[in-house]
Amino acid sequence: MNRRTTVVVEVTLMLLTVAAYFPVFDCDFVGFNDGGYVTENEWVKAGITREGVKNAFTEPVSALIYPLTMLSHMLDCELFGLNPAAHHGTSVLLHGLNVVLLFFLLRTLTKNTLPSAAAAALFAVHPLNVEAVAWISQRKSVLSTFFGLLALMAYVRYASRPRLRTYLLIIVLLVLSLVSKAMLVTFPLLVLLLDIWPLQRVIWVEEDGGVKWLKTIMAPANRRLLTEKIPLFLVILPVCALTVWTQHDAGFMGGSGNISIPTRIALVLSNYFFYLFKFFAPLRLGALYSITGAPVPAWETVSGVIVLLACTDLALKRVRKQPWLAAGWGWYIAALLPVCGLLQAGLAGKADRFAYIPMIGLLMAVIWAGRDLLHGRIKDVRALRGTGSVAFILVLVLLTAGTRLQLRHWADSKAFFARAADVTERNDIAHVNLGLIFSAEGDYHAALNHFREAALIHPSDPDLQLNVGSCLTLLGRHAEALPHYEAAVRLRPDDAVIGYNLGLCLQANGEKSAALEAMQGALELAVEQGMVDLAREIRVALSRVSR
């Protein structure tokens, strides 16, 4: 394939990416994480400054230290301010570059142009990637993958001609990927899989028609392949340690230790099935699917067991004749390991963005299995090629349409949280944020419904009880509000704000003496806690009630 044709394919892939993601330029920032990363981060909003650069390397955001990601946000603010279209444009550009790099990587590895272009095209428009691209705070996903793909390209060069400077380039690019997001911590495993296919560096030991795995692993040439990955593991270990430490220090892994081993195993099995299912049927996609510790559906766990056993068995049996199945499926398994739930960090039990890199393995397995089917098992290949091309174009169109439709749910914070509430059950975070949005808009009936949904999930949360009571108060339903204020006081008796609201509600219900008692207690707490403005307001209210 000449260079001109390659350029045409690469430009076509970039245009396809822009066409799929064009609606994102009308999307706003969303009120979940975008504030911490951009809109409410004073260091980022100031653009590129000496203090900001220092802050990027030393201060965690959402309990994570990813300096390169923060620098990219700072650069956007330096150039474009808080124009969301420009910030989205950077993420789309990075995704487009990832698409082109994936094509170039697969073509370099396999020497097969059409399958490589097909895999890259599906990666470009698949709706499962929308979260990683359209969510500005997930810039880290596309940025990390960009450097990760460059590191893989460097590894391909190293495999063909081992040289120290090439190996050092791999390490540098891997570090850049990890300081953007610590997703590619399984990089050594991924390149080992590439050694199986397409690089074919693994020496197989076979007896009686089957692979002898122990002898294969212990073969001198294969031991050398393992040994050359040791420096990569040494690079990754400090990043893993830092991530775990910052997450634990922020309390984001505190709940993880409370998850029982059976529940954790069920979550892992469920997740491996979940992303595979969404890859083939990208329906009802959203954000915040589940929260750490939430019950795992039994059918997902059982499906995960069946899928893992069946696909792994098939991949191992066909590893010599169809190595792309083993390499692709192994890539999916390995790339998903950091976020499969084995070591849970943060709130998300599942998230579309987690599939961004693992999807590459599935694309490798599916596309090359389809190529093998066309070239090896169908007699009338020419007749089927036309049908296959039409089918591929249809799938590409459907996926592009799905991506454009999915982008509607990233238009603003309301659309974002409404989608999360729609596609999940018992999602208190989505309902709380929708309640706050509707409250700010003055729609207290809608806000009340969402706060009540959240309170049903977490009845022992005093803030939720306070929010329900406040909405009922604003709607003039003081008698209904009173039990919620009383519940909030019981749950957090040292909160002056809650005590003051209880007093106001008691006053509105005509219980003057009880109102005075509640307000006096709130005043004492406010004075004790140095809340000067609140104390002044309570004194004024007390004087009115006392008349």
pLDDT at 254: 46
Residue with tokens 């094509």: 103
Percent of the chain with pLDDT over 90: 78
Each residue's pLDDT tens digit, 77-116? 999 999 999 999 999 999 999 999 999 999 999 999 999 9
Q: Which residues contact 397 (CB under 8 A, 6 or more apart)?
A: none
pLDDT at 292: 52
- Pairing mode, strands 206-207 and 210-211: antiparallel
The Cα 364–Cα 367 span in angstroms is 6
The Cα 499–Cα 46 span in angstroms is 39
Residue with tokens 């009571």: 469
Q: Is 513 exposed, middle or buried (0-12, 13-18, 19+ CB in 10 A)?
A: exposed
The Cα 279–Cα 335 span in angstroms is 15
Q: What band does 252 get if pLDDT is binned at 50, 70 and 90? A: low
SS3 210: strand
Would you kindly state where each structural domain of the chain is located, as residue ranges?
3-410, 438-546
Q: Is 465 exposed, middle or buried (0-12, 13-18, 19+ CB in 10 A)?
A: buried
State the chain's mean pLDDT as an integer: 91
CB 52 within 8 A of CB 46: yes
pLDDT at 255: 47
pLDDT at 244: 72
Average pLDDT over residues 135-150: 97
Each residue's pLDDT tens digit, 27-52? 999 999 999 999 999 999 999 999 99
Each residue's pLDDT tens digit, 312-365? 999 999 999 999 999 999 999 999 999 988 765 556 678 999 999 999 999 999
Q: Which tokens go with 402?
A: 């799905």
Which CATH number, 1.25.40.10, 3.20.20.70, 1.10.606.20, 1.10.940.10, labels domain 438-546? Answer: 1.25.40.10
Average pLDDT over residues 446-469: 96
Average pLDDT over residues 389-394: 90
Average pLDDT over residues 451-457: 95
- Please check the confidence at residue 243 and state whether its pLDDT lies above 80: no
The Cα 281–Cα 402 span in angstroms is 11
pLDDT at 253: 53
Distance from the Cα of residue 244 to its chain's centroid = 17
Each residue's pLDDT tens digit, 508-547? 999 999 999 999 999 999 999 999 999 999 999 998 887 6
CB 269 within 8 A of CB 305: yes
The Cα 81–Cα 206 span in angstroms is 61
